[in-house]
Amino acid sequence: VYKATSNSLYFNEINNLNIQNKNWVASAMSYCDGSIIGLVENNGNLYLSEDGGNSWGMASEDAHSTLVSITTPQSWQKIRMSNDGETIVSVSDGGISGSGNIFIGNAIEFTTINQPTITNKPWKSVDISGDGNTIVAVADKDFIYVGNSTIMTSKENKRRWKDIKKI
């Protein structure tokens, strides 16, 4: 994992044993100051740093969550966060089973969005608005879902969605 600061023309490797030798598939950083960074590894875990990459830890789950554990390795596809890094969202596609979930949280704890119509889907991509209030996600051979941390509504027709990009 490499990082460059705004006053540098070069990337420097982040030397931290917690994040070395991983199969990273996606990353996200808080837009405001870059202090919060999230990384997801394929068939692995979600890692977070709250100090610009100096120290790292695996994400933990909401103690009240009875759903899929974020501390169990997942087939992660994407991670995104609000501009201030206070709201982080990530999706897994469930691997061979196709039973992935949308995970939402902050630097302290995560949970899945507990809505029967969006659990256990092969999620491919997710994004979140700058203020953290709106989430959009796509699953393979399914709808576009738009909503917030509590409820997501299907939009558009079923398609083979692969990714979402901010414009």
Smallest CA-to-CA distance from 48 within 15, 12, 76, 85 is with: 85
Residue 12, pLDDT above cutoff 90: no
Over the stretch 91-111, which tens digit does the pLDDT of each residue have? 999 888 888 989 888 877 777
pLDDT value of position 167? 47
Q: Which residues contact 157 (CB under 8 A, 6 or more apart)?
A: 143
Average pLDDT over residues 117-137: 91
For residue 67, what pLDDT is reported?
Answer: 47
Q: Looking at residue 22, what is its pLDDT? A: 85
pLDDT band at 137 (very low <50, low <70, confident <90, very high): very high
Q: Where are the beta strands (DSSP E) in 4-134?
A: 12-13, 24-29, 37-41, 46-49, 57-58, 76-81, 88-92, 102-105, 110-112, 123-128
